[in-house]
């Protein structure tokens, strides 16, 4: 049996002919950087997410850094983030000379707003919720906290394309958010790629310049210090094509999550993520299916022996647990969560039958106690 966690060649093989046609078309036009394919893809994503502006960038991490910079974050400013996130969230803060301040994750693995509140000091300028696993945080509570303390909200929506809270899309709250198109993402390109979403025209214009060496596209003049972080036109063409079926991708992922939820019910040693439709506030797109499990490491080895691939997010450590980063914090709930979390395979190539086999194997592991 072989049920990989993610099958990169299959991602390519499933669309090979279409991809080659896109390479050929864009290559023959010589349309490699900031061309129509990018502009039309940006317009589609903006409409889909219900935001005024979407800007293709090199990757989500660059997008986060550019958003923080456009929002006026300066060296020494403190920015609160949830420690159960990719190091990229904190890295974007650190890159500006600002101070990443971690807070606890909650029982649904989203930012714990009480813990975020407790982390606020006189130097706090922004809060960065991560829309983890394709789910949006309680943005009512985060927006209320931000309003109370005059904080910018910058969303790490790398995993959240199409996820909603109260009908509003990830990336549409606060000053803006960033989507990642890393190959394993729900919408994944053939390399690196990202998108900044914002409703703020000044922020949009700032990042439009930042991503292209600080040049104002209207005049060509360099108006600010910038960088090179553009979404390649070929990647935009590929993403635009894959996006045609994005609703299908989301329903398939929600279907797989619903199957896991059904099959794993009653296994007392597990905590399952909220099922699709579990409440009316959230619309989850299941970038990941992250369970909590007793004896997680043994379960992982047991499944590996059966050829079933699983993954511990971030290698099983919260951001503040990497000692070389110099973030000192004690976040016991997050630390406990990281020791127990495991992602089961959920991707576009796994079959319903394989979801059944994975679930059955999990049950057998605990039944053998
Ligand atoms: C939560 C989160 N933040 C940030 C990133 C970084 O995205 P990118 O690789 O596009 O820079 C990722 C990507 O895995 C992520 O999952």
Give the CATH number, domain containing residue 320.
Answer: 3.90.1150.10
Closest CA to 135 of 98, 115, 109: 109
Give the pLDDT of residue 1.
Answer: 84
Looking at the domain assignment, is residue 218 inside a domain? Answer: yes
- Nearest-CA neighbor of 46 among 166, 177, 139? 177
Has residue 266 got a pLDDT over 90?
Answer: yes
Distance 88 CA to ligand 1 centre (A): 6
Distance 294 CA to ligand 1 centre (A): 27
* Residues 277, 331 share a domain: yes
The residue out of 182, 209, 243 marking a domain boundary is 243
pLDDT tens per residue, range 205-240: 999 999 999 999 999 999 999 999 999 999 999 999
Q: What is the dihedral of CA 312, 292, 6, 346, to 10 degrees?
A: -160
Pocket of ligand 1, beta carbon within 6 A: 59-61, 85-86, 88-89, 130, 156, 158-159, 180, 182, 192, 194
Pocket test for ligand 1, best of 180, 187, 229 (most atoms within 8 A of CB): 180
Residue 215 CA to chain centroid, in angstroms? 28
- Tell me phi and psi for residue 323, to 5 degrees: -60, -30
The pLDDT value recorded for residue 191 is 97
CA distance linking residue 274 with residue 265, whole number of Å: 12
The pTM (predicted TM-score) of the whole model is 0.97
Cα-to-centroid distance, 365 and ligand 1 (Å): 32
Q: Is residue 87 included in any domain, yes or no?
A: yes
231: left (phi over 0), alpha (psi -120 to 50) or beta: beta
Q: Do 58 and 206 lie in a common domain?
A: yes
189 and 171 share a domain? Answer: yes
Q: Is 133 helix (H, G, I), strand (E, B) or coil?
A: helix
Ligand 1 atom index nearest CA of 131: 1
Number of structural domains the chain divides into: 2
Residues 79 and 46 in one domain: yes
* CATH code, domain carrying 72: 3.40.640.10
**297 phi, psi to nearest 5 deg:** -65, -40
pLDDT of 132 strictly over 70: yes
Centre of ligand 1 from the C-alpha of residue 360, in Å: 31
- Residue 37 in any domain: the answer is yes
Q: Which domain range does residue 236 map to?
A: 8-243
Residues 238 and 257 in one domain: no
With a CB cutoff of 8 Å and minimum separation 6, the contacts of 368 are: none
Q: Is the pLDDT of residue 338 over 90?
A: yes
Residue 368 has a pLDDT of 77
* Digit-coded pLDDT (tens) for 41-80: 999 999 999 999 999 999 999 999 999 999 999 999 999 9
Q: How far is the CA of 330 from the centre of ligand 1 (A)?
A: 24
In a domain, 154, yes or no: yes
Give yes or no: residues 338 and 227 share one domain.
no
Task: Give the distance (Å) from ligand 1 centre to CA of residue 349.
Answer: 22
The pLDDT assigned to 350 comes to 97
**165-197 as b/e, with b when 16 or more CB fall inside 10 Å?**
beebbbbbbbbbbbbbbbeebbbbbbebbbbbb
Domain presence at residue 2: no
Ligand 1 atom with the smallest distance to the CA of 130 is 1
Domain-embedded: residue 1: no
Residue 186 has pLDDT above 80, yes or no: yes
Name the domain boundary from 190, 224, 243: 243
Nearest atom of ligand 1 to the alpha carbon of 184: 14
128/180 same-domain check: yes
Identify whether residues 234 and 277 lie together within a single domain.
Answer: no
Q: Which atom of ligand 1 is nearest to the CA of 180?
A: 10
Q: Are residues 255 and 236 in the same domain?
A: no
| Ligand 1 atom with least separation from CA of 88 | 4
237 and 254 together in one domain? no
Of 243, 261, 281, the position where a domain reaches its end is 243
Q: Under a CB-based contact definition with an 8 Å cutoff, are residues 193 and 42 in contact?
A: no
Assign 369 a pLDDT band (cuts: 50, 70, 90).
low
Query: Does residue 158 sit in the same domain as residue 77?
Result: yes
Ligand 1 binding pocket mutation candidate from 88, 157, 232 (most atoms within 8 A of CB) = 88
The answer to the question of residue 16 being in a domain is yes
Q: What is the pLDDT of residues 271-322, one digit of tens each?
A: 999 999 999 999 999 999 999 999 999 999 999 999 999 999 999 999 999 9
In a domain, 330, yes or no: yes
State which ligand 1 atom lies nearest to the alpha carbon of 194: 10
Reference 256, options 132, 348, 363, 361; nearest CA is 348
According to DSSP, the β-strands at 152-156 and 124-128 are parallel
Mean of the per-residue pLDDT values for the chain? 97
* Cβ–Cβ < 8 Å for 188, 11: yes
Q: Are residues 321 and 353 in the same domain?
A: yes
């Amino acid at each position: 049996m072989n049920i990989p966690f993610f099958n990169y060649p299959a991602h390519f093989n499933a669309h090979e002919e279409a991809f080659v046609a896109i390479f050929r078309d864009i290559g023959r036009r010589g349309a490699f950087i900031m061309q129509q394919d990018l502009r039309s893809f940006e317009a589609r994503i903006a409409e889909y997410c219900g935001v005024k502006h979407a800007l293709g960038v090199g990757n989500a991490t660059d997008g986060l850094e550019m958003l923080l910079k456009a929002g006026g974050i300066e060296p020494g400013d403190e920015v609160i983030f949830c420690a159960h996130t990719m190091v990229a969230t904190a890295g974007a803060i650190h890159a500006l000379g600002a101070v990443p301040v971690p807070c606890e994750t909650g029982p649904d693995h989203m930012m714990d707003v009480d813990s975020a509140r407790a982390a606020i000091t006189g130097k706090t300028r922004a809060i960065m919720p991560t829309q983890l696993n394709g789910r949006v945080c309680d943005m009512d509570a985060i927006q209320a906290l931000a309003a109370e303390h005059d904080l910018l909200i910058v969303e790490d929506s790398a995993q959240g394309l199409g996820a909603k809270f109260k009908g509003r899309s990830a990336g549409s709250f606060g000053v803006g958010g960033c989507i990642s198109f890393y190959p394993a993402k729900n919408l994944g390109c053939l390399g690196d790629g990202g998108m900044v979403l914002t409703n703020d025209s000044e922020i949009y214009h700032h990042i439009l310049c930042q991503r292209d060496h600080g040049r104002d596209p209207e005049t060509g003049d360099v108006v600010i210090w910038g960088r090179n972080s553009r979404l390649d036109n070929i990647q935009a063409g590929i993403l635009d094509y894959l996006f045609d079926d994005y609703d299908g991708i989301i329903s398939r992922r929600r279907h797989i999550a619903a199957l896991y939820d059904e099959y794993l019910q009653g296994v007392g040693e597990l905590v399952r993520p909220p099922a699709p439709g579990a409440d009316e506030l959230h619309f989850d797109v299941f970038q990941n299916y992250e369970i909590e499990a007793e004896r997680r490491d043994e379960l992982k080895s047991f499944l590996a022996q059966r050829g079933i691939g699983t993954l511990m997010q971030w290698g099983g450590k919260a951001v503040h647990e990497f000692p070389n980063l110099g973030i000192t914090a004690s976040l016991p709930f997050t630390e406990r969560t990281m020791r127990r979390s495991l992602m089961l395979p959920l991707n576009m190539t796994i079959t319903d039958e394989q979801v059944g086999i994975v679930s059955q194997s999990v049950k057998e592991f605990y039944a053998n106690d």
